Structure 1
Amino acid sequence: MYHRVGCHLCEQMTASLRLLQSELAFEFELVDIDKDEQLRKRYDVDVPVVALGGEVVCYHFFEEEMVRQAIENG
């Protein structure tokens, strides 16, 4: 998940992913966009962003069904 420190939407999405993680077996990584200029330019106003295999699954708000489908379809 692409995020930035101090982003309340990012914190909410992280919590939602952790809840779903307790139900489905998957790993996710938190990537701070402010530590990479290219990522900051790409996702600056869109964080948080959940991406899987280079494809954006959802951004700004957690969309559980879309995330579930992405995980299940690998």
Structure 2
Amino acid sequence: MMSMPASVFKLYGRAWCHLCEEMRAALEPIATRHGAAIEWIDIDEDPVLEARYDERVPVLVLDGVELCHYRLDARAVDAALSARRA
């Protein structure tokens, strides 16, 4: 029986956004190392999310807390994962 990942990152972005692609690529090895999943959310599919995030994408969230936007902040991600394990 497979267990659910301990952590699920929510990555808000747009399909045509090169910064979103860069953040996702940078996040994938960190997520893999920690057994975490990445949920990709295209803000253009939801008018509420589009209004909320618009030009701030990509935005990375864990447990409802925004960790970073535009570029991956690896220290913030590592700190959030460490705090989650504590």
When Rg is computed on C-alpha atoms for both structures, the one with the higher figure is 2
Mapping 1:17-32, distance limit 5 Å: 17-32=27-42
* Partner residue, 1:33: 43
Structure with greater strand share of residues? 2
Asked if structure 2 preserves the Cα contact closer than 8 Å seen for 1:13 and 1:61, the reply is: yes
What is the CA deviation profile of residues 10-62 of structure 1, one whole-angstrom value per residue up to 9, with x for unaligned ones? 00000011121232211120000000011000000110000112111000000
* Partner residue, 2:15: 5
Q: Which runs of 5+ in 1 are unaligned?
A: none
Asked if structure 2 preserves the Cα contact closer than 8 Å seen for 1:10 and 1:48, the reply is: yes
Secondary structure of 2:32's match? helix
Q: TM-score, normalised by structure 2?
A: 0.81
Asked if structure 2 preserves the Cα contact closer than 8 Å seen for 1:26 and 1:71, the reply is: no
- Determine what percentage of the aligned residue pairs are the same residue: 36
Runs of 4+ in 1 over 4 A off after TM superposition: none
- Structure 1 vs Structure 2 CA RMSD: 0.9
Query: Structure 2: which amino acid aligns with 1:48?
Result: P
Asked if structure 2 preserves the Cα contact closer than 8 Å seen for 1:13 and 1:48, the reply is: yes
Q: Does 1:54 align with 2:48?
A: no
